Amino acid sequence: MYIPPCPFLLMGFLLFVCSSRRRRIQGAGFDRTRVKRGRLWGGGRGRGRSVAAGKMGRSAPVFQALLVFLTIIETQWSSVSGMYCADMASTVYRPHSVTITEFGAVGDGVTLNTKAFQNAIFYLNSFADKGGAQLFVPAGRWLTGGFSLISHLTLSLDKDAVIIGSPHSSDWPVIDPLPSYGRGRELPGGRHQSLIFGSHLTDVIITGANGTIDGQGAIWWDWFYNNTLNYTRPHLVELMYSTNVVISNLTFKNSPFWNIHPVYCSQVIVEHITILAPLNSPNTDGINPDSSTNVCISHCYVRNGDDVVVIKSGWDEYGISFAQPSSNISISNITGETGGGAGIAIGSEMSGGISEVRAEGIRIVNSLHGIRIKTAPGRGGYVRNVYIADVSMHNVSMAIRINGNYGEHPDNNYDKNALPIISNITIENVVGVDVGVAGILEGIEGDNFSSICISNVSLSVRSRHPWNCSLIQGYSNSVTPESCEQLRTDCEETSICYDGGSSLAVGSRASIHNKPSANILLNSLLQLVSL
């Protein structure tokens, strides 16, 4: 239920804005925002310059602060995420604990400590049925190859601990491809195991006091660009077929490939995470739930080269055959900046199906795409019941993108007639400044994407042709610039727009229109910063 902001809070913030304007305070930039011990801290200046209404050029820092404030007061702290992960605790008492140095590890950044990690975890396995155990990594730089976790384990890092991935590919084992992909994502055959790996586990916690896991990905990126990879690059963390997983209070840096990849998992919490990689680093996706259910992702900051958060569920005929969907995914309070991806993405590997996705409180800056759904003929599967709301964007090239011809197939055996079903997608309460294009929404010939609902969206757009739509059907209300013709039926006249709950409900639309209009809010903010 929407709760309007306290008037005293609003008044205080407006006074802050006015005084900041007079003092010409520089700040409130997004590009150096950090997540530190569960809180967002901002500093520095954003790289983009606002141009809304011709008056934003000198007011971008103030407007960025206003966008953050707008997102905060609009965020609904959804009870849905509590439902998805209701039975999980982010911390668990472990009666047994050891330190990695007890097994001969040396934190000098030079000594290879793979055996020490393996031996420590083998030893702790004897306590799995005695309440579990903790492996503590103290301050230092701990070079290692890939190692595997066990059930009922907490891997805990000191705030000054850095686990460093070896620069030698031979220290990263090669394992079988995922059955829902049929091959390595980049190359046929196997793939390198992630730095921290686990399969068929339960009750696993990877956490710390904002300690760091650094994949030293630059060498892998060079191999990728030079076409000298022998196998698909490794992730930093991958857990397969596992339940009750918590990943929290850590910084991930320079992953060779994707950063956090729970696949075939259930009951997963990812929270208070910082992910960092160069904006031009290839495929350094942030958090990728894949064929997983009951996943809650919150309070994360991601600055990388590809999608910030992206949901997947298998690739073409392999994903169709494996038939394990991603569902019940909650994403909230995410700040992201990506050089080549989107803030919130779905696909393109979605052949097992993706549904019941709720994303709220999203801040996207200096990025290629804001929100993106990717698919193609041959994928099959479905994307349905997706609700994305309370989004702010600044300096984003394309706010909304739905692409029905993304391409990329594992082999030539896919069924070209396996068309994906894309329906019941709701995007609402979005404000954007210095946006290139409002949206490109493209379905597939003979496979119109349906029930695409866009409501309460206000974007300051540079392009003279803000929307480009084809082979889609849907509805819109209070959208600026005016949405494309295929979406011009008013949301209020239909009962089939997905409201983010467990079923479609026309009654929920009334509560939506009780919220302040994004157009009204944006116009008010523009008037403020022009004073």
Catalytic residues: 306
- Distance between CA 52 and CA 526 in Å, rounded? 8
Amino acid at 315: W
Rg (CA), the chain: 23
Please, what is the Cα angle at 314 between 311 and 316, to 5 degrees? 125
C-alpha torsion angle, residues 372, 377, 380, 383 (rounded to 10): 20
- Distance between CA 431 and CA 393 in Å, rounded? 6
Find out whether 354 and 298 touch, Cβ atoms under 8 Å.
Answer: no
- Distance between CA 66 and CA 56 in Å, rounded? 12
156 forms beta bridges with: 136, 207
- Distance between CA 311 and CA 290 in Å, rounded? 6
342 forms beta bridges with: 369
- Distance between CA 130 and CA 262 in Å, rounded? 26
Tokens of 431: 């404000």
- Distance between CA 341 and CA 93 in Å, rounded? 38
- Distance between CA 169 and CA 192 in Å, rounded? 8
Tokens of 260: 């956090």
Dihedral of alpha carbons 450, 456, 462, 466, sign: positive
DSSP state of 74: H
97 forms beta bridges with: 134
Tokens of 191: 């793939």
Q: What is the biggest distance separating any 2 CA atoms in the chain, rounded to whole angstroms?
A: 68
- SS3 of 286-347: CECCECCEEEEEEEEEEEECCCCEEEECCCHHHHHHHCCCEEEEEEEEEEEEECCCEEEEEC
Q: Which residue's entry shows tokens 């891997």? A: 155
441 forms beta bridges with: 402, 469
Find out whether 235 and 263 touch, Cβ atoms under 8 Å.
Answer: no
Pairing status of strand 133-137 against strand 96-99: parallel
3-state secondary structure of 84: helix
* Residue 137, phi then psi, degrees to nearest 5: -110, 110
Find out whether 313 and 324 touch, Cβ atoms under 8 Å.
Answer: yes
Pairing status of strand 153-157 against strand 266-276: unpaired
Find out whether 329 and 295 touch, Cβ atoms under 8 Å.
Answer: yes
